[in-house]
Structure 1
Amino acid sequence: MLRGFKNFLMRGDVIVVAVGLIVALALSTLIKAFTDNVINPVIASAQGGMSPGLGWQLGRPGNPATYLNIGAFISALIYFVVFMAVVYFLIVVPYKHIQARRGVTVFGDPTPAKTCPACVSEDLPEAATKCRYCGTAQV
C-alpha cells in the first residue's frame, strides 16, 4: 500500500505540480517580505532626501499616481531572480536527482528535430523518413 502511494507521488503529474506550487507560493511570500523590507529601503536610500523611492515625480508634487518609481521595478526584478533561483535549487534540482535515481530523465535537452520542406512542421525527429503530418518523404 505504501509502495503504491510512493509511486503515485513520484509519477510527475498533477500531484507533484500541486506540491511544487504550494512550496513556491510559500517561498514567494518569504522572498516578497525580503524585498519589501530589505531591498526597497536600500534602493530608496540611494536617492536620498525625503523621496518615497528611487524615481521621479512626473506630475504635481506629492501625487503618488504620477510618481515614476524605478526602485519598485528594480525590487520586482530582484524578487523575480531570487524567486526563480529558489524554485530551481529547492524544487527542480532535487526532483531531477530523485527521478535520475529512478532511471527517468526529466528537464533534459530536447531531441534533435528537422523541418518538413512541404508543410513546414518543425517537430519531426531526425531519423524520420516520412512527415507525420503530410506524408512527404524526408531527405
Structure 2
Amino acid sequence: MLKGFKEFVMRGNVVDLAVAVVIGAAFGKIVTALVDGLINPLIAAIFGKTNLAGVWAFEINKAKFSIGLVLDAALNFLFVAAAIYFFIVMPLNKLAERRKRGQEPEPDPLTTEQELLTEIRDLLSTRQS
C-alpha cells in the first residue's frame, strides 16, 4: 500500500503540480501587492475610493448588490493571469523552443523490410531511365 502511494507521489506530474501550487501562491502575493500598491491607488485617484467594491453598488429591499466587487475580483484575476503568462509561461515556452531548435530528432533507423523496399525502388527507377 505504501509502495503504491510512494509511486503516485513521486510521479513527475504530481511533483510538478505541487511546485506549481506553491509558486502560484507566492506569485499571487506579489501580484496582490502590485494591485494593492499601484492599481487600487489609481482607482482611488479616479473614483475617490480605494477599491471598486463600493463603486456601482445599489440596494433593493435591504439586499446589497455590488457590481464593483465583481469587477474588482475580475481585475485581480486578469492581473494574476497576465503576470503568470508574461513572466512565467512565455519565457519558459521561448526557452523550450530554443532548446528544441538545437536538438533535431534523428530519424529512426530503417527496418530490414524498409531497406529492401528502398533498394527495389532504386533498382526500378534506374531501369526506367
TM-score (norm 2): 0.49
Instruction: Considering fraction of residues, name the structure with more helix.
Output: 2
TM superposition score normalised by structure 1? 0.46
Structure number, greater radius of gyration: 2
